[in-house]
Structure 1
């Protein structure tokens, strides 16, 4: 009976609402709410100027508030409390349907921010996967969101780097405070953090990452400006950045590392169990428990193993699935490259193959340009493939970053599904169409809910055959492997952070159930240790989108249009999953 409930619900909804007109929005309330949204967005950008930079808004490019300080945390809490109180003065029933969705999203956003403010996250300020040293390091390359085209741009960056140095001083203090109170990184993560800090403390300064913009000063600058800026960069790197990171490296190596913990889960820090429950809600936008998610993961792993067995038989491999994983990991034909550019070229070739089929599945395509680039060297060893959004005005393209630490060991078996996920129609379509949608209030064009965002990207992987890909059984196996990878995440993330699993147990479970290399699996497990809960969002979100598509196909029958469904998925930007589900049910009812 359970599978018929959504359709029954829709029939009842239609029966109840057939003669009941939707009340018109009250103009005064609507205007009041629109003003609140504009005020909130502007104030949020001032509170988080890096967000403005990534959006292509250069008004705050000289600022970097110290988000690790108690003063900032107190200011942020007050900001969220104030806007939640102001939101609750608005009568939601008097808003139009689009505004009601915006109301729900803003309420969710503010409540979750206030819940998160109760946890002392500033006491774990750095790890190998996240932290200001990585975020600002990307900008320092001169190849990311921070512009370097005018003298003002360079001066803005020099001012921002001084704020960054203050923040890193606070990070050092917070590491010490955290260590004294039991907020400690697992030893494995601290060991991966050290090489990053060492790189940023290395000389000569002319080769330093933070000196990069000084080597690309435009020829249009005057000689006086060029000399002044080069001198300022030498001073900034040689007298501030290198000494700062040298001191931090020494502290982490000699004082912090001996204190780090051997346990792997976030539940081992003070209040860690409650924090993990909060992170599950934050990243999945559901009220699911760790136990529920763990069981779903086990079922999905079992299902996908059966699908993998079929591919193994198709290619004629004799041996068990574990042996087939090793075969795929080491097959020479799947590691054909000796130049990193060949990896980039291969992704561009995948895009060329699928382009003719995109119009069959999508009405709308982004105006924002798109590029594939190799991940920067300073973070490549610990990085995963990722997508960085383009700017709101389209002046900066969306970028699919691919780490290639050892090109001769680079395995292509999952490249097609990886492109679908990180690039097109995954994150690039999703993020760019949201940024370009002028019907949305600005704050909704910039939001990111991992369950929806990563759920859409994982769902996009399943579209490969419809887009003319996965003709090679190894590439199809790559798709199954990627989905298995996300199913495993449900098991190992909850295992590590709520069931006492060690890093080694999680690594072994992954090795037994997927074809990723051991080095890749180790990096992934350590990623889950560094950002608990985030890895749950992919599979939870994908399963919900697949459920909603199946619901729509069953309810609409021959009237179901895949392009219209995809438009619906992408038109409203990132949403909590319960809000997305309500949108789909209303769409089905209207159809």
Structure 2
């Protein structure tokens, strides 16, 4: 369900050679000799060449992925998302996995190549298993989908530094009629198979789609539509003649009217046709083979074999534990009343909010920058390796504010041409309390997602696919772990800020409860909202929006807490085994410098590091 899952697929565990002796009295089976250093070097190089071949092939098959990588090879094209192309994609993955097993000898790989083998194998097997559920996703929903991803691609990632870049932008606009025709086909195909989003999804996705084709040149104003505003700004900044600018803008307007409009109209028509068939049932248990689908989603996102019941019970225990820490802060600040009363206080009292004005929004963004500058100055206490790419703060664009997350991160271009972007949804400042901002910044930017993803992209000497591998439990687990790290070096001095941190931690713990509640225990939307209102300090509007996210994104929300607990558990185990030799900076180097990993592989990496530290000290 992540944006580049189709492109990035492929990896998992290397198997040991089984060497046995024949029965007594018979000749022993030949024992394979230990590979020489030259054999290891050669086999590892061959494997890395294979990875490079597959990665470049997959990049060439996805113009959109090329753009996010900072490449302009097919800057004028969009992806082919047809069923036939998806059949080709999965056939290639099967072919890649077969080649991996038949053409390479795990026993002759160096440590880095063996790790790459495991990751590639895991990804390939997961994608092959996931293809069974190709049509079980809600491909257009209020949280994500091509209807908002394509505007985001052109507006945020398609830079225009030349006339050729502008013409490529316009070519992409001209490709949208066909592209969104395929999106509409996909919606109808899913509906035929009984995969229809819940009722609440339709009004929001229809609004988002209509927003893209509202304004000039689709109507008489008063404002430009999002695409026209963007292309005017980008073309206006070019050092070309006014006549050339006018030509480009006219071409863009023609593409908007003749391609973008009919493309979005096709999606809107499909949504309107399907909408009457939608029900109020929210969990994927309602889908064909829904229980099996959800079990796959949990394996995919957590990279564990934990069942829905196990995740649910763990969530209940974690919620109870964090409530105790919250009670301690309530007592510390001298608040009289129940924990639920305290929840209401911190989510409604004016002291915790900036005004819902442009000045208030700017003050919030200014505080964000201040927090980023502060944590950047403390990184040496926690890290050896730090990213070269910068991260900047932006407000979520108006066209996608409705339904958008409170905050999110977009990775930098791999070639360094574009920084990481930390987005804040400032449409309603009552949804953006000051006391949760530190944890939000630490999670999404530094030392969270930007730190982890930028370091991965900048790694040298590892296959490119590992720099962009997408393991939610690792990536989001690191983000949640990163919320805690600043507390361990003395930040969160304001107890209300620390309560904000706990607010996000309990939110992730409660996700274990409600995601499994919705999709395995058949909780209703209202039942889920009521649980979160009772147990977490967030306003009902925010809770409702998040519950609606979990409904359309089954399993994803469970990965955060599972990943965080793995980082903490491995760290504590390493600390106990190494004693005075444990170095938190070296631990972070170990877990970050391999890129994102399945949690099972992450544990192997940390265990190997602990063993190497012990050996070096002996």
Q: Is the TM value for this pair above 0.5?
A: yes
The superposition leaves residues 198-219 of structure 1 with CA deviations (integer Å, 9 ceiling, x where unpaired) of 2123132261112121332133
| Corresponding position of 1:351 | 372
The answer to whether the Cα contact below 8 Å between 1:66 and 1:163 also exists between their aligned partners in 2 is no
| Corresponding position of 2:22 | none
Given the alignment, which residue of 356, 363, 388 partners 2:384?
Answer: 363
Q: Does 1:541 align with 2:595?
A: no
Q: Does 1:72 align with 2:79?
A: no
Structure 1 residue runs without a partner (length 5+): 1-19
**Which consecutive segments of 4 or more residues in structure 1 shift more than 6 A?**
20-23
| Corresponding position of 1:259 | 277
The superposition leaves residues 456-499 of structure 1 with CA deviations (integer Å, 9 ceiling, x where unpaired) of 11001111223442111110000101000000110111111111
Given the alignment, which residue of 244, 249, 258 partners 2:263?
Answer: 244
Following superposition, the deviation at residue 363 of structure 1 comes to 1.3
Given the alignment, which residue of 284, 296, 299 partners 1:278?
Answer: 296
The answer to whether the Cα contact below 8 Å between 2:477 and 2:563 also exists between their aligned partners in 1 is yes
| Corresponding position of 1:15 | none
Q: Does 1:202 align with 2:214?
A: yes
The answer to whether the Cα contact below 8 Å between 1:123 and 1:177 also exists between their aligned partners in 2 is no
Spell out the pairing of 1:182-221 with structure 2 (5 A cutoff).
Answer: 182-205=194-217, 207-211=224-228, 212-217=230-235, 218-221=237-240
Given the alignment, which residue of 12, 33, 41 partners 2:47?
Answer: 33
SS in 1 for 2:499: helix
The superposition leaves residues 332-376 of structure 1 with CA deviations (integer Å, 9 ceiling, x where unpaired) of 100134321111101111123333322111112111011011111
The superposition leaves residues 310-351 of structure 1 with CA deviations (integer Å, 9 ceiling, x where unpaired) of 111111111111111111100110013432111110111112
| Corresponding position of 1:329 | 347
Following superposition, the deviation at residue 501 of structure 1 comes to 0.8
Once residues 442 and 120 of structure 1 are traced to their aligned partners in structure 2, the CA distance between those partners, rounded to angstroms, is: 26
The superposition leaves residues 392-442 of structure 1 with CA deviations (integer Å, 9 ceiling, x where unpaired) of 122211110000112355311210111110000001110111111112211
Question: CA separation of 1:331/1:107 partners in 2, compared to 1, >3 Å: closer, same or farther?
Answer: same
The answer to whether the Cα contact below 8 Å between 1:455 and 1:543 also exists between their aligned partners in 2 is yes
Question: CA separation of 1:409/1:87 partners in 2, compared to 1, >3 Å: closer, same or farther?
Answer: closer
The answer to whether the Cα contact below 8 Å between 1:357 and 1:468 also exists between their aligned partners in 2 is no
| Corresponding position of 2:109 | 95
Once residues 429 and 101 of structure 1 are traced to their aligned partners in structure 2, the CA distance between those partners, rounded to angstroms, is: 22
Q: What TM-score do the two structures reach when normalised by structure 2?
A: 0.89
Once residues 162 and 524 of structure 1 are traced to their aligned partners in structure 2, the CA distance between those partners, rounded to angstroms, is: 35
Spell out the pairing of 1:227-238 with structure 2 (5 A cutoff).
Answer: 227-238=246-257
SS in 2 for 1:399: strand
Following superposition, the deviation at residue 162 of structure 1 comes to 3.3
Following superposition, the deviation at residue 63 of structure 1 comes to 2.4
Which is worse superposed, 457-466 or 240-249? 240-249
Once residues 124 and 365 of structure 1 are traced to their aligned partners in structure 2, the CA distance between those partners, rounded to angstroms, is: 37
Q: Does 1:126 align with 2:140?
A: yes
Question: CA separation of 1:23/1:497 partners in 2, compared to 1, >3 Å: closer, same or farther?
Answer: farther
Q: What TM-score do the two structures reach when normalised by structure 1?
A: 0.93
Q: Does 1:152 align with 2:161?
A: no
SS in 2 for 1:386: strand
Once residues 214 and 243 of structure 1 are traced to their aligned partners in structure 2, the CA distance between those partners, rounded to angstroms, is: 21
Which is worse superposed, 476-485 or 278-287? 278-287
Following superposition, the deviation at residue 242 of structure 1 comes to 2.6
| Corresponding position of 1:563 | 585
| Corresponding position of 1:170 | 182
Following superposition, the deviation at residue 23 of structure 1 comes to 6.8
Given the alignment, which residue of 151, 157, 161 partners 2:173?
Answer: 161
| Corresponding position of 1:7 | none
Q: State the aligned residue count.
A: 568
SS in 2 for 1:182: coil
The superposition leaves residues 530-589 of structure 1 with CA deviations (integer Å, 9 ceiling, x where unpaired) of 111111110010000000000011001111111111111111110001111001001101
Following superposition, the deviation at residue 178 of structure 1 comes to 2.4
The superposition leaves residues 124-147 of structure 1 with CA deviations (integer Å, 9 ceiling, x where unpaired) of 321111111111111232xx2222
The superposition leaves residues 29-83 of structure 1 with CA deviations (integer Å, 9 ceiling, x where unpaired) of 222212101101101112233222111122122222232x211111111110111
Given the alignment, which residue of 477, 488, 491 partners 1:466?
Answer: 488
Following superposition, the deviation at residue 300 of structure 1 comes to 0.4
Which is worse superposed, 515-524 or 217-226? 217-226
Following superposition, the deviation at residue 121 of structure 1 comes to 2.3
Q: Does 1:83 align with 2:100?
A: no
| Corresponding position of 2:416 | 394
Which is worse superposed, 479-488 or 227-236? 227-236
Q: Does 1:415 align with 2:437?
A: yes
Following superposition, the deviation at residue 503 of structure 1 comes to 1.0
Following superposition, the deviation at residue 123 of structure 1 comes to 6.9
Which is worse superposed, 241-250 or 190-199? 241-250
Following superposition, the deviation at residue 506 of structure 1 comes to 0.9
SS in 2 for 1:167: helix
Once residues 430 and 193 of structure 2 are traced to their aligned partners in structure 1, the CA distance between those partners, rounded to angstroms, is: 45
Once residues 251 and 447 of structure 1 are traced to their aligned partners in structure 2, the CA distance between those partners, rounded to angstroms, is: 33
| Corresponding position of 2:66 | 52
| Corresponding position of 1:516 | 538
The answer to whether the Cα contact below 8 Å between 1:280 and 1:290 also exists between their aligned partners in 2 is yes
SS in 1 for 2:160: coil
Q: Does 1:505 align with 2:527?
A: yes
The answer to whether the Cα contact below 8 Å between 2:183 and 2:267 also exists between their aligned partners in 1 is no
Following superposition, the deviation at residue 377 of structure 1 comes to 0.9
Following superposition, the deviation at residue 220 of structure 1 comes to 1.2
The superposition leaves residues 230-288 of structure 1 with CA deviations (integer Å, 9 ceiling, x where unpaired) of 111101112222343245335534x3222112100112111222211111111111111
SS in 2 for 1:400: strand
The answer to whether the Cα contact below 8 Å between 2:176 and 2:259 also exists between their aligned partners in 1 is no
| Corresponding position of 1:586 | 608
Once residues 266 and 55 of structure 2 are traced to their aligned partners in structure 1, the CA distance between those partners, rounded to angstroms, is: 38
| Corresponding position of 2:393 | 372
Once residues 248 and 392 of structure 1 are traced to their aligned partners in structure 2, the CA distance between those partners, rounded to angstroms, is: 32
The superposition leaves residues 290-323 of structure 1 with CA deviations (integer Å, 9 ceiling, x where unpaired) of 1111111111011111111111111111111111
SS in 1 for 2:502: helix
CA RMSD of aligned residues (A): 1.8
